[in-house]
A and B are shown apart, each in its own frame.
Chain A
Amino acid sequence: MSNLAPTHEDRLYWPVQRQRNRSLYGLFVVVAAFVALYAYLFPGLLSVAGISKFAQSWLPLALVSMAQAILMLTGGISLAIGATVSLGAVIAATTMMGPLGVPGGIAAVAFSGLGIGALCGVIAIRLRLPAIIVTLAASFIIAGLALLILPRPGGAIPGWFSDLLAGNTPAALILLILAALLWKLYLATPLGLSLYAAGENPVGAYRAGVPVDTARIAAYALSGLLSTLAGLFIAAQTGSGDPVIGNAFTLNSIAAAVLGGVGFLGGRGTMRGAIAGSLLLSVMINVMFFLGFPPVAQYVAQGLIIIGAVALPEITRRFRRAR
């Protein structure tokens, strides 16, 4: 089959991708501008070591933005992302030095994320409760679990594992590329294909035989997995666990996904947008740090830039119409 001339699908692939990129050009330009500014301020960025250091500060936010974007594509949302990140960090810090070792710890983190995500999904989807409030309640339960496992910051991660993930290696960058590739693969599976259909038009998809509920619950499970893995990485970075370390990620993940053009109603948006959104947020934070902004002014600037970036398409549209 493959040695035939380009098939119909091949000819369609790139035009479709271009179409999907169209609404993201503005974001890409803003991201490129910020990256250029960052590289200008910190020339060390343009080296393997510089990029891998930057990837380490970016990876957790990129993972949680993917976690949030998966849910938003199916028309859901999670306010439990931050708590789940904390839980992942806490589990990693308490199991890895124990009899389970590093592989056992990674498995424990991954399975707890999958399980908790799937449970949230089952409650929200099967019982038909609004996702925003189910995950709000779940965030309290998950945060409580994290506090039970590790009441105060502590635990430990084996030194060699910390060095491998967060030392002078490009591991974070490789993991990020891997995550993006796995997402492409997932989209090619039946469940991945159902994802957009379930978000865009659940009724139509259901009538066409798409396993809407399964696709949505799988999205919740994957979202939990990505969140706890982000927690694992943070634990490796800091060398210990902290039961409240992930709190800021809930809102930042939503901000990144929305900056990336992922819609709240489901079916609208792309993962590359969400990742670009998370890149914008972390570059922004780094640039402000380099410019010597006090941490407080960063909040102000962050609020303004998020509003600006989201409002930009509407402003340009109005401007064009006025002319």
Chain B
Amino acid sequence: MNGTEDTRFPRWRAASLLRNRAFLTVLIVALVWIVAAFAKPGFGSYGHLRYLLELAAVIGLVAIGQTYVVIAGGIDLSVGAIVTVSAVGVPLVALSGDSSGAFAVIAILAAATGIGLLNGLGVAYLRIHPMIMTLAMATFLQGVLILIAGGTAISAQNPLLAWLGNARIIGIPAGVILWTIVSAAALAVLHATPFGARLFALGANPLASALSGVNVQRTTMAVYAVSGLTAGLAGVLVLGMNGQGYVGIGDPYLLASIAAVVLGGTSILGGSGSYAGTIPGAILLVTITALITVVNASAGWRSILFGSLILLLLLLSGRESQRR
């Protein structure tokens, strides 16, 4: 009796915690914050850390969908374009009778999910490689956006967004609270539902999961739809924080989301990982960027530092297991 309990729940060891990639990433973030707080007065102040978390919330939201897609063995290169679609789209669908602005937000989130579904359709039914499908989608969206919105920034007059971007509930920004709630839901779906289990199965071995009864096509569609939805949510948040949307506002979030996923220990090859690692991964990225901005360097050196730090962190946490 006792023996079976032990195999189901292996005894807790400190060493096993150190091998947990999500925990390691948290540890690195904490270390960087403590060192930076001592080295640079003002870095560790509550206001600054809160600001960093606000920035991380956007990357974190985009990275939810990216984590799902990567775990399922794909990749989504259209998230940056979808963030832009929703940041530019909300002001465009604003209606006069819609005083709270909720309708515009819901309509845009539905549109973002629809774009994700189209990605999934191409990947699942037309068998287009995810990288090329989402890339083509991003190119397509970029063109459509410029056609619709032109090159100018569009201001949003949307009370809901203004609240989302600026309100503080007991001192915590509304965006961070949104991120926390959505993250909890994302983690629960990933680790405690059949859908989450199917994602891991699909990423580890699509053929085996198809043979064991997973509806590969429907699961693929769903996972890209989730990615579209979270990218749309991130776009709404960005618009709320910025006050205006413009073409190109979402571009930085594409590479940031992939970097956050990989730094968080999710295998880029699919089949293993967790959103629990992506959360500190996103915070880590924002922290590095903030640190580099603090160091007064030219654009070239900043870029070199950023790349080198990502490589270094990768060495610490991102080793792929040897396949030989």
**Which A residues have a C-beta under 8 Å from some C-beta of B?**
123, 127-130, 132-134, 136-148, 151, 202-203, 206, 251, 254-255, 258, 264, 296-304, 306-307, 310-311, 314-315
Chain B contacts of A132 at CB under 8 A? 75, 258, 268
Given A129-B318, A130-B269, are A311 and B128 also a contact pair (CB < 8 Å)?
A: yes
Number of residue pairs A-B, CB distance < 8 angstroms = 150
Q: How far is the CA of A298 from the CA of B143 in the complex (A)?
A: 7
Cβ of A210 to closest chain B Cβ, rounded Å: 12
Cβ of A277 to closest chain B Cβ, rounded Å: 11
Q: Which of B153-161, B203-211, B309-317 contacts A (4 or more CB under 8 A)?
A: B309-317
Chain B contacts of A136 at CB under 8 A? 255, 258-259, 310
Within 8 A of A (CB), among B277-324: 298-308, 310-311, 314-315, 318-320, 322-324
Q: How far is the CA of A130 from the CA of B127 in the complex (A)?
A: 24
Shortest Cβ distance from A314 into B: residue = B127
- Give the contacting residue for B147; candidates A145, A151, A202, A297; CB below 8 A: A297
- Give the contacting residue for A310; candidates B75, B129, B302; CB below 8 A: B129
**Known interface pairs A255-B135, A300-B147, A310-B126; 18 further A-B residue pairs with C-beta atoms within 8 A, sorted by A's residue number:** A130-B269, A130-B320, A137-B308, A140-B306, A140-B307, A147-B299, A147-B303, A251-B77, A255-B136, A258-B131, A264-B129, A296-B143, A299-B146, A300-B144, A306-B139, A310-B136, A314-B126, A314-B127
Determine if B298 and A151 form an interchain contact, defined as CB atoms under 8 angstroms apart.
yes
Chain B contacts of A206 at CB under 8 A? 324
Chain B contacts of A302 at CB under 8 A? 136, 139-140, 143
Cβ of B22 to closest chain A Cβ, rounded Å: 17
Within 8 A of A (CB), among B118-150: 122, 126-129, 131-133, 135-144, 146-147
Determine if A144 and B268 form an interchain contact, defined as CB atoms under 8 angstroms apart.
no
Cβ of A254 to closest chain B Cβ, rounded Å: 7
- Give the contacting residue for A304; candidates B140, B258, B302; CB below 8 A: B140
Within 8 A of A (CB), among B229-260: 255, 258-259
Determine if A134 and B298 form an interchain contact, defined as CB atoms under 8 angstroms apart.
no
Interface of A, secondary structure class, is helix
Q: How far is the CA of A130 from the CA of B272 in the complex (A)?
A: 14
Offer 5 A-B interface pairs, CB within 8 angstroms, sorted by A. Answer: A136-B255, A299-B146, A300-B140, A300-B147, A307-B137
Closest 5 CB pairs of A and B: A299-B143, A303-B140, A140-B307, A144-B303, A147-B300
Cβ of B214 to closest chain A Cβ, rounded Å: 20
Determine if A141 and B133 form an interchain contact, defined as CB atoms under 8 angstroms apart.
no
Cβ of B34 to closest chain A Cβ, rounded Å: 24
- Give the contacting residue for B128; candidates A129, A142, A151, A307; CB below 8 A: A307
Determine if A133 and B322 form an interchain contact, defined as CB atoms under 8 angstroms apart.
no
Q: How far is the CA of A219 from the CA of B215 in the complex (A)?
A: 38
B53 on the interface (CB 8 Å rule)? no
Determine if A141 and B129 form an interchain contact, defined as CB atoms under 8 angstroms apart.
no
Chain A contacts of B269 at CB under 8 A? 130
Cβ of A129 to closest chain B Cβ, rounded Å: 6
Cβ of A149 to closest chain B Cβ, rounded Å: 8
